[in-house]
Structure 1
Amino acid sequence: MKAKALLLLFSVCLTVSAAAQRLVTFQGKAQGTYYIVKYLGEDSTSLQPDVESIFREIDRSLSLYLPSSLINRFNKGQQVVMDDYMRTVVKKAQEVSRLTNGLFDITVKPLVDLWGFGVVRHSKGQPSAANIRKTLQLVGYRLLTVRSRYLIKKKAGVEIDCNGIAQGFTSDVVGSFLLSRGIRNFLVDVGGELVASGVNAQGQPWSVGIERPSSGKDSLQQGPMQAILRLKNRAVATSGNYRRFFDEGGTRFAHTIHPRTGQAVHNNIITVTVTAPDAITADAYDNAMILLGVDQGLAFIARNPKLQLGAYYVYKDDDGQVKEKYSPGFFATE
């Protein structure tokens, strides 16, 4: 009983302490998208300049839009000495590639470019089968070697694209910065990839809205409802096939490219939202979950409980009805 009483007292004190702090919010644009930072603190000094400095540092490492970035130097050459940002991202990417048998693969860049979804956008339509086969020879996570701090490509022409993981990583880095400043209660959102720590100003888990289908066909185009996900010491990322795509011959080709077949995704999935202990993990696996599909994706999560993943799918069934399906415990607080 004493232990329970002490736990209850601690919980009450934590809630009162969080509620006594001021909610600080700032936002802006970075990495080609938006960012929002919310935290509870007592210091009135703005941390926005420090956070934007972090964005610039990560861009110098991982941005494909910055000609002098480390990733562009690697793509143009044979090897680079990785900084801490690139080393962390490449290590996580290779780990996820191994566990998903190459469904997530940062060497997919030549295929992304071929389909017109890269830095230089084009709408030339579906590439020829011959061009896809040729480009596939430059794709495969095993074509990368990490030796000490060096990232080395085994074949000329191999290029990497970390956009499928970088924004989640950035959210984690900003979160770590806030922790280093003694801030324990925060929510960081970089382009929809979020990491939450502690509680909000009401002493409750942070509330995040995710797209949820209403009944009927094409209901998302009529205005999605919101499912409320409550996050505490957890991260979430969403990937979808309804914003970047082109239509050809009655088929919609989305920007998600299958690294093993070279094909742009044209399955029945509208969005998938993934939860994980950190945003870099959630961001990497949301790509793989789209390629796995609803049933195989949920089965993967069930087979790998140590990853602590959750997934929420919005998809169309064979009749064109918008449906939802999610893993057990997806809406759990932690």
Structure 2
Amino acid sequence: MKGLFFFIGICISVSTSAQKLVSFQGKAQGTYYIVKYVSDDTISLREDVEDLFKDIDRSLSLYLPSSLINRFNKGPKVVMDHHMLTVVRKAQEVSKITDGLFDITIKPLVDLWGFGVVRHEGQPSRQDITRKLRLVDYKLLTVRAKYLIKKREGMEIDCNGIAQGYTSDVVARLLHARGIHNFLVDVGGELVASGVNTQGLPWSVGIERPPGTDSSSKPVQALLRLKNKAVATSGNYQRFFDEGGTRFAHTIDPRTGQALHNNIISVTVTAPDAMTADAFDNALIILGVDAGLQFISEHPKLKLQAFYVYKDAAGKISEKYSPDFFAE
């Protein structure tokens, strides 16, 4: 659900042959979804997939007034279902590893900057940022059995930076449970690839420079071949506002309360699962190119790889990526 409001620059290319390729797409969670799989049975699983979206929305959608997440945000605690419990536990794990660079308690700041459910533009005052920062700290959340408990009144959570990747993983598990092991799932740009396409090759995913970022040069193009791997992208080129000569993007740094205004255009992250890729792309875009790539090298057990598109000191669009980003 991170991509509720924007498409993040990943396009899909799928080979076809005499084998049966089942494909369907639609809209869910405020974005698009695409499911492609190779199967002996051409019966579509669209209805089952869309039922999953509705189930996850009842848990984690900020746009559904009766959702569990909104019930928690209005009160001191909530009894979580398995969707919310899985996402919150993973979020807390990533927060600890990144020393709070990823933090689902960021919602008060997201709302303050106008990137939440209610949209507005304008840089908030330093005083307002400081006041909201008191409510942002993943350590002030407690998970006790199925309960999620806040330790400070006024705290609210926003799982949009991780839940969309989780949704892709849930759809992937559904396909595996139905005996389908060659597929590509894309929920708003968070993808899970399993097995091979109809030609027996890994699924191909193209990464392109966002349009209009640098008309003087050729677009960045990179082809990823994904087999049993997930990919997510965090970009700062569609949700933003300009003020005083500065472009403020939707990514908020939980440490400072500031909306991101660095030189990063996007970071694409691969990981063993989409929830992991989705969560860490937030931290990696805040860290920036060099620190982000260093973080990846220092945490090999996470099996993360990243591809950055950014503006260098001269304002030229450049890219840099970790050594094994293109490895299958």
Is the TM-score greater than 0.5? Answer: yes
The answer to whether the 8 A contact 2:210-2:237 is kept is no
Give the secondary-structure state (helix, strand or coil) at the position aligned to 1:164. coil
Q: 1:221 to 1:267 in 2, by over 3 A?
A: farther
1:72 to 60, 70, 76: 70
State the 1:206 CA deviation.
0.3
1:237 to 207, 212, 232: 232
Aligned identity (percent) is 73
Q: AA paired with 1:114? A: L
Give the secondary-structure state (helix, strand or coil) at the position aligned to 2:225. strand
1:178-212 Cα offsets, whole Å, 9 max, x none, are 00000000000000000000000000000001124
Query: For residues 161 and 275 of structure 1, what CA distance do their matches in structure 2 show?
Result: 23
Query: For residues 330 and 35 of structure 1, what CA distance do their matches in structure 2 show?
Result: 24
- How does the TM-score come out when normalised to structure 2? 0.93
The count of aligned residue pairs is 313
State the 1:174 CA deviation.
0.1
Query: For residues 187 and 218 of structure 1, what CA distance do their matches in structure 2 show?
Result: 29
The answer to whether the 8 A contact 1:193-1:238 is kept is yes
**Bigger shift: residues 75-84 or 204-213:** 204-213
State the 1:42 CA deviation.
1.1
Which residue does 2:25 correspond to in 1?
Answer: 27
State the 1:227 CA deviation.
1.2
Q: AA paired with 1:266? A: H
Q: AA paired with 1:119? A: V
Query: For residues 197 and 106 of structure 2, what CA distance do their matches in structure 1 show?
Result: 39
**In the TM superposition, what are the counterparts of 1:84-163 in structure 2 within 5 Å?**
84-123=82-121, 125-163=122-160
Query: For residues 65 and 40 of structure 2, what CA distance do their matches in structure 1 show?
Result: 40
Which residue does 1:62 correspond to in 2?
Answer: 60
Is 1:196 the counterpart of 2:161? The answer is: no
Query: For residues 306 and 99 of structure 1, what CA distance do their matches in structure 2 show?
Result: 12
State the 1:219 CA deviation.
2.0
**In the TM superposition, what are the counterparts of 1:274-289 in structure 2 within 5 Å?**
274-289=269-284
Q: 1:309 to 1:76 in 2, by over 3 A?
A: same
Is 1:305 the counterpart of 2:300? The answer is: yes
State the 1:213 CA deviation.
8.1
Give the secondary-structure state (helix, strand or coil) at the position aligned to 1:302. helix
- Structure 2 residue runs of 5 or longer lacking an equivalent are 1-15
1:277-313 Cα offsets, whole Å, 9 max, x none, are 0000000000000110000000000000000000000
Which residue does 2:7 correspond to in 1?
Answer: none
State the 1:19 CA deviation.
6.8
Query: For residues 191 and 213 of structure 1, what CA distance do their matches in structure 2 show?
Result: 15
Query: For residues 233 and 220 of structure 1, what CA distance do their matches in structure 2 show?
Result: 35
**Bigger shift: residues 203-212 or 19-28:** 19-28
The answer to whether the 8 A contact 1:213-1:220 is kept is no
Q: 1:220 to 1:38 in 2, by over 3 A?
A: farther
The answer to whether the 8 A contact 1:19-1:203 is kept is no
State the 1:43 CA deviation.
1.1
1:259 to 244, 248, 254: 254
The answer to whether the 8 A contact 1:218-1:321 is kept is no
State the 1:46 CA deviation.
1.2
Q: AA paired with 2:283? A: A
Q: 1:221 to 1:258 in 2, by over 3 A?
A: farther
Which residue does 2:81 correspond to in 1?
Answer: 83
- How does the TM-score come out when normalised to structure 1? 0.91
CA RMSD of aligned residues (A): 1.7
Q: AA paired with 2:161? A: G
The answer to whether the 8 A contact 1:238-1:273 is kept is yes
Give the secondary-structure state (helix, strand or coil) at the position aligned to 1:194. strand
